[in-house]
Structure 1
């Protein structure tokens, strides 16, 4: 069997996920588990895991996948201590997550599963597909869309609210639709939760703030905005980086952070209620960046913070 066949099946399944993502959040979560397990199996059968140099702050470990052929491309790096490499272990963990979601619908947040475990499962789900795309079908947007689908299904299940993707606002001569990734509209007078999702922010953070400003100005008090992000890491080339286990001298991973820019947006453009990361920058978590919104791991959004954001 060639690699083209299993990735073709995954791409077809991904298109079906996109088509049904607004209609059946329970079934979508089940499908996501199978889909991510399929991505992990593809990686295990056709690639090798190698360590990748971390050049940023703090003690972190990252790994990449490389195709089992000469001169093959490598995937983006995954956090070794958060990523679940074994497909069977992931399937078992995802079953725990599904049971926790089923038991939590009336609670508005995940119970019976701790935030660290939730974070690892969601991180592995997103990054397994992202790494598979890197190796077998390089394309922009596929990983980001998958993260959006996962986040929409989780918050939709826990909140009991319908999952949307736009807000309709009046403008001279009619109405304009604002695409905001995810919306969770309440039917009881409570604010609508708006959730942009990004693989990383960098130059993309401004869009979330501009949309939040428009919503705050148009309908004060009717919206709350958070942003969900995977990471802020990127590969760098630097001759000073030493090889790890004989692999990739001169190449490594670091974080590109813009806390000052975010603090400016938070003060002068709009107020985000929080930033939630699957692989959070340590300096953001430590609160070393004055003026930024609350920064928390993604798992804490689902196990602790969501009820307050829905009020």
Structure 2
């Protein structure tokens, strides 16, 4: 059955990413899961338009057996598996445009999450785990370095190990890479971990780059899509707790765009597709 094939492909992604996150094998497993998920969504589910309460954004989703998956932004989500495969090849050959990279990464990141939500509703961790694997692969491949998740912090003459999101040592630079589906997932932890790294190793020893998917929330009864944002909390975290050098979204929330416009020297929020064009500046400057 299709569901069994997708579950098997999901297991292969986790396995390959545990072995070598930066490897071609991990990338191939991610692509296969995305293609199988997208084929399932297009061929076996019903596309459903959603009521967008977000200015200038249109959303839709997929429905099966009265289950509606999370929202997909019409501007970024590709419905053709062949188009995804072609863009993947262009990304590998580094001939892809920034816009195309944004569409490719958005579709590959979201399609498995939608499929998992439809036939494995109780698996709450599955979408977040896949998203973390995918973003980790993109960064690990970009710098040819596998990350760690254990920080060694010197405290009172002892080395204390703490589990964090991805930590990458790129020679001249170290990167702290928190990855979340949304900032509702205990996002203050990302700033707190950045503060710990700053205090342990001096400010700017670790560059903070946070990657999030979106802040959309769907009311399954009314099919309305809203964005849940806490700009005042972000302003406090970024001002008084620690500084994230860059924050990437696959679908940037409107209110956080406005926050960045108000405080351009404090908060830098960008569409994830832009990472492709500025990765050298970010990772090797």
Scaled by the length of structure 2, the TM-score of the pair is 0.91
SS in 1 for 2:99: helix
CA displacement at 1:136 relative to structure 2 = 0.5
Deviation string, structure 1 residues 192-246 (Cα, Å, up to 9, x no partner): 1111111100352200000000000000132111110000110247xxxxxxxxx
Between Structure 1 and Structure 2, how many residues are aligned?
279
Counterpart-to-counterpart distance in 2, 1:120 and 1:178:
35
Cα RMSD (Å) of the superposition? 2.0
Deviation string, structure 1 residues 161-194 (Cα, Å, up to 9, x no partner): 22222212233574332222212112x3x22111
- Cα distance change, pair 306–180 in 1 and its aligned pair in 2 (3 A): farther
Counterpart-to-counterpart distance in 2, 1:128 and 1:61:
17
Instruction: Map residues 1-311 of structure 1 onto 2, 5 A cutoff.
Output: 5-22=1-18, 23=20, 24-56=22-54, 58-67=55-64, 69=65, 72-100=66-94, 112-138=95-121, 139-172=123-156, 174-186=158-170, 188=171, 190-202=172-184, 204-220=186-202, 221-236=204-219, 250-286=222-258, 287-290=260-263, 292-311=266-285
Unmatched segments (≥5 aa) in structure 1: 101-111, 238-247
Counterpart-to-counterpart distance in 2, 1:203 and 1:21:
22
CA displacement at 1:158 relative to structure 2 = 1.5
Counterpart-to-counterpart distance in 1, 2:155 and 2:199:
13
CA displacement at 1:123 relative to structure 2 = 0.7
Unmatched segments (≥5 aa) in structure 2: none
Deviation string, structure 1 residues 111-159 (Cα, Å, up to 9, x no partner): x322221111111011101110110001212111111111121111211
Counterpart-to-counterpart distance in 2, 1:31 and 1:44:
20
Stretch deviating more after TM superposition (41-50 or 14-23): 14-23
Scaled by the length of structure 1, the TM-score of the pair is 0.83
Task: Tell me if the contact between 2:78 and 2:103 (Cα under 8 Å) persists in the aligned partners.
Answer: yes
Structure number with bigger Rg: 1
- Cα distance change, pair 216–173 in 1 and its aligned pair in 2 (3 A): closer
CA displacement at 1:304 relative to structure 2 = 1.1
Counterpart-to-counterpart distance in 2, 1:234 and 1:176:
38
Counterpart-to-counterpart distance in 1, 2:133 and 2:148:
11
- Cα distance change, pair 19–181 in 1 and its aligned pair in 2 (3 A): farther
Stretch deviating more after TM superposition (222-231 or 167-176): 167-176
